[in-house]
């Protein structure tokens, strides 16, 4: 027997909304999904009229849905935003080169200017080359650090007022779990912030309009709207630590459907003791971008690659210092031997 739509539109429902379990027709689902994101934007005051906003575009479902919804809401509610696309090419053959074609399609579909920056252009390295040096055990560390800074570099080049990323509720809950398991108190509290950075601190703010949107609903929205997106997983991702957190979260969600939102709300309410030493976010003395250490993680990793010490930035700083000292000692010894030969 057909079930009536909970939106009281007079139509029959065709789905149960994962987040609320409401029986909705297609149009009411679209409206509920978009309205929820609009309410998040308004309540958190993520944007101001006249701002230039860069949408971090990867070609995946999250960034594609974000670009589509931002365009819809910008026109429906007259936000007055200038929307542009910013994409990062990590240099992963068979993955990023294909997804960038989808990003170009997004540019054409939504009429937004697109800027693509590559790791090769910014750092002189591609992820393919980095993986060849470091192996597959720590490659996500390099990619994540370089990508975060690449977005800052791209935002500065495009002279935008803020960057909107496609992080959804599942992503944030996974990050909370990862930071708990690592005992990373600094990132544990910060990862739940819907807005990070500020112009007052000489950093371009980042916002997460999809913070309370379930991944399942994002997939359903993209599917039923027939949006074009790239769905292939990164070839280096199977070994990522995040994958274990994701599997745990999915199992937890089967037992407690509200687990995702429960974890996010718990993270939002966390308070760190005043006696706990917390890193201070500042500006890297080498590259001039935001960092909580001197030099920043990106500069340390890049130095290791250029020195032939790809594991320099992996693990504790003291270990990296010992690696540099050992290499410098070996170079001095080699120079002494050469001098003695003459």
Q: Which amino acids are annotated as binding site for ATP, given as ranges?
A: 56-58, 62, 88, 166, 171
Q: Which two tokens stand for residue 37?
A: 């994101």
Q: What is the residue-wise DSSP string for 54-76?
A: EEE--SSHHHHHHHHHHHHHHHH
CA distance linking residue 149 with residue 166, whole number of Å = 16
**260-293: b or e for each residue (b if 16 or more CB lie within 10 Å)?**
beebbeebeeeeeeeeeeeeeeeebeebebbbee
Question: What are the binding residues?
Answer: 56-58, 62, 88, 166, 171
Q: Which two tokens stand for residue 61?
A: 């479902």
Three-state SS for 21? coil
Q: What is the residue-wise DSSP string for 197-265?
A: --GGGTS--EE-TTTT--HHHHHHHHHHTT-----PPPTTGGG-HHHHHHHHHHHHHHH-TTHHHHHHH
Residues whose CB falls within 8 Å of the CB of residue 76, separated by 6 or more in sequence, listed in order: 34, 38
Q: To 5 degrees, how large is the angle CA 41–CA 215–CA 151?
A: 60
CA distance linking residue 296 with residue 283, whole number of Å = 8
């Amino acid at each position: 027997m057909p079930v009536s739509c909970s939106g009281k539109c007079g139509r029959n429902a065709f789905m149960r909304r994962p987040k609320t379990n409401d029986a909705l027709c297609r149009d009411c689902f679209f409206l509920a999904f978009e309205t929820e994101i609009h309410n998040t934007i308004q309540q958190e005051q993520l944007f101001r009229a006249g701002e230039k906003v860069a949408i971090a575009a990867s070609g995946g479902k999250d960034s594609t849905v974000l670009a589509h919804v931002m365009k819809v809401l910008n026109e429906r509610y007259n936000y007055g935003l200038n929307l542009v696309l910013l994409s990062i090419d990590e240099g992963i053959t068979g993955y990023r080169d294909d997804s960038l074609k989808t990003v170009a399609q997004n540019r054409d579909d939504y009429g937004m200017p697109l800027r693509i920056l590559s790791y090769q252009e910014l750092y002189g390295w591609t992820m393919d080359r980095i993986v060849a040096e470091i192996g597959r055990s720590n490659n996500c560390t390099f990619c994540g650090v370089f990508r975060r800074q690449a977005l800052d570099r791209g935002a500065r080049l495009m002279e935008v007022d803020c960057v909107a990323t496609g992080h959804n509720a599942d992503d944030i809950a996974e990050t909370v779990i990862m930071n708990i398991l690592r005992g990373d108190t600094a990132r544990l509290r910060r990862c739940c912030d819907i807005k990070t950075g500020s112009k007052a601190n000489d950093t371009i703010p980042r916002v997460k309009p999809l913070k309370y949107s379930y991944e399942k609903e994002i997939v359903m929205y993209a599917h039923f709207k027939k949006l074009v997106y790239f769905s292939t997983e990164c070839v280096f991702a199977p070994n990522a630590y995040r994958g274990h957190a994701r599997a745990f979260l999915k199992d937890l969600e089967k037992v407690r459907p509200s687990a995702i939102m429960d974890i996010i709300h718990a993270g939002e309410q966390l308070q760190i003791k005043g006696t706990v030493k917390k890193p201070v976010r500042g500006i890297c003395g080498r590259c001039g971008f935001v960092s909580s250490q001197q030099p920043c993680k990106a500069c340390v990793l890049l130095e290791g690659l250029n020195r032939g010490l790809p594991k320099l930035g992996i693990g504790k700083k003291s270990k990296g210092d010992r690696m540099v000292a050992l290499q410098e000692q070996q170079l001095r010894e080699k120079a002494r031997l050469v001098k003695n030969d003459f």
